Amino acid sequence: MFTGIIEEIGTIEKISKSSASMVLSISAKKVLEDVKLGDSISVNGTCLTVTSFSSRSFTVDVMPETFDHTSLKLLGAGAPVNLERAMAANGRFGGHFVTGHIDGTGIIASTQLVENALYITIEIPEELTRYFIDRGSVCLDGTSLTVFRTEHNTITVSLIPQTRHDTILGSKKAGDIVNLECDMMAKYIYKFMNGGRPGNSGKKDIGTDFLTQHGFMG
């Protein structure tokens, strides 16, 4: 489990790639402070397992399923990546529930800097639109963000200066691919309301009114 609060930006040091998998060596500092073999580290939002490490870098395997369904396959040597260690049981919960299991990828449609806010609009797969509402949560490349606006097959988020500085999102531009993880609560609610329990075959739209009525929003 992760929080979506990025701890540091690492750098891809080396890539060993095959047709449907790869091994990444990533240079880092903070996430190596207490690292152990088998630990989970989120790399651009993707939960990966540490298979080896040194004082300055760690190595992870990217399996075929992850290779196919995330943007990791597009990385090259020298690319910056968002990093976060798995949350400790006694840690503060600064973002929202993030599993590190990517639901799909989105394409940045536009970016716009207005005063101190950077607005990023992302085109998302149609099958994921059901999980997004205005002021809901989303994880982009491992970063916990609030959805500013939903419209058709796009979502817009707003980045504060601190997030632009501490993550790779501040340097993104139109056409870039980002990893998407939908809010876990939204996925569970949708499944529950659409046949996820015995005897329930009815379908109901999940929107702001529904979430407020059932205590998920104030």
Q: Name beta bridge partners: 122.
A: 108, 155
Q: Is the pLDDT of residue 190 over 50?
A: yes
Number of Cβ within 10 Å of residue 193's Cβ equals 17
Q: How confident is the model at residue 204 (pLDDT cuts 50, 70, 90)?
A: low
Domain 8-85 of CATH type 2.40.30.20: yes
Q: Same topology for domains 8-85 and 104-193, yes or no?
A: yes
Domain 104-193 of CATH type 3.10.20.30: no
Q: Which residue has the tokens 């996820």?
A: 196
Q: Is the pLDDT of residue 97 over 90?
A: no
- List the domain boundaries for the chain: 8-85, 104-193
Q: How confident is the model at residue 199 (pLDDT cuts 50, 70, 90)?
A: very low
Sequence-separated (6 or more) residues with CB below 8 Å from residue 124: 104, 106, 132, 153, 154, 155, 180
**pLDDT tens-place string over residues 37-59:** 999 999 999 999 999 999 999 99
Q: Is the pLDDT of residue 81 over 70?
A: yes
Q: How far apart are CA 101 and CA 206, in angstroms?
A: 22
DSSP three-state, residue 46: strand
Q: What percent of the chain has pLDDT over 70?
A: 87
